[in-house]
Amino acid sequence: MNTSLRWDIFCQVIDNYGDIGVCWRLAAELGARGHRVRLWVDDATALSWMAPRGAAGVQVLPWPGKAPPDGTGDVVVEAFGCEIAPDFIAAIARHTGDGGKKPLWINLEYLSAESYVERCHRLPSPLMKGPGAGLTRWFFYPGFTERTGGLLRERDLAARQAAFDHQAWRARHGIAPHDLAISLFCYEPPALAQLLAQLGPRPGAHLLVTPGRATAAVLHEIGLKPVWMDRQQLSFSYLEPCPQPAFDEMLWACDLNLVRGEDSLVRALWAGQPFVWHIYPQHDGAHHAKLLAFLDWLQAPASLRRFHALWNGLDSAPALPLLDAATLAEWRACTAAARARLLAQPDLLTLLLGFVAEKR
């Protein structure tokens, strides 16, 4: 395979974090490996803080209504079921690259631990009509097992983590070595009030609240209980938006990470610290099966399963499991074992590049 390919990655933003976060990490890592990337996005505003310095080899462009004058890339990635404009699809059908090769069209799917992922990964989807008639779109599923497309993992991740000064980060944020630091990146978790009630009287507990919906949810709960605020010892840090590497470092430094969506779930796994996942809620309840499948893969202990069930509204028991030292140690061991399993597998981009080499 040509060592440098041109990639077109299409991303439609849903909540300014998950979809664009995954697509940016993919684009930036492609650029770091010597490829040329055009990232077509309908709302790039989040990149102003998520990736303020950009990335070598990556060009961010507005969502196209038609194909650019210089044609399509060697590889076209349609992320998360976004729909490419018919004129661009027609350009894919017309394009002939080096050696007469057509572009490889890939549908990068959502992350799941459900069994269908292994069955559907790498399956073809021939187009029978429309501007793309005669083309084949290939499904590429990220996942947690060797029979899936793996997870995004930068080649320098291990080196960055090894060089990271955990205690210096905590000191800069006013967190003592033995304090309990918890990051909060969530939607509106049903059990947030229970978490605040458990942490409120605990000396040395710090809640690092990310901007947006997490901050709004916390301020709403506090507003409902002004008297409680007079008695609590929990410290709150309301954070500003930050670049992706800084978000990763926060996860490395905290004792518990409450994360949401797809990109931050993967980053919590790489962090190796205890975490709880707030899965994106769907009106038909399909996220319940998705969450349970992930917890099965994770081999989550009973206390971690119960916390997830309450945090995601699958259960309405009156109290969350206590976040004591023994519980967090059990969760940390679970995360470490899962991380080790993942590190023994190839990363998503390595597998994707191999797939491209095979199909082109």
CA-to-CA distance for 52 and 37, rounded, in angstroms? Answer: 17
Task: Report how far apart, in Å, the C-alpha atoms of 180 and of each of 17, 75, 202 are.
Answer: 26, 46, 9
Q: How far, in Å, CA of 26 to CA of 9, rounded? A: 9
Active site residue 118: no
DSSP one-letter string for 97-114: -GGGPPPEEEEE-----S
d(CA 280, CA 357): 34
Query: Which is the catalytic residue, given 8, 78, 255, 262?
Result: 262
- Using CB atoms within 10 Å of the CB of residue 279, give its burial: 0 to 12 exposed, 13 to 18 middle, 19+ buried: buried
How far, in Å, are 122, 280, 287, 288, 294 from residue 284 at the CA level?
27, 12, 8, 9, 18
**Residue corresponding to tokens 């894919």:** 92
Q: Is 19 a catalytic residue?
A: yes
Catalytic residue among 8, 19, 109, 248: 19
Would you please indicate which residues are annotated as catalytic (active-site) residues? 19, 262
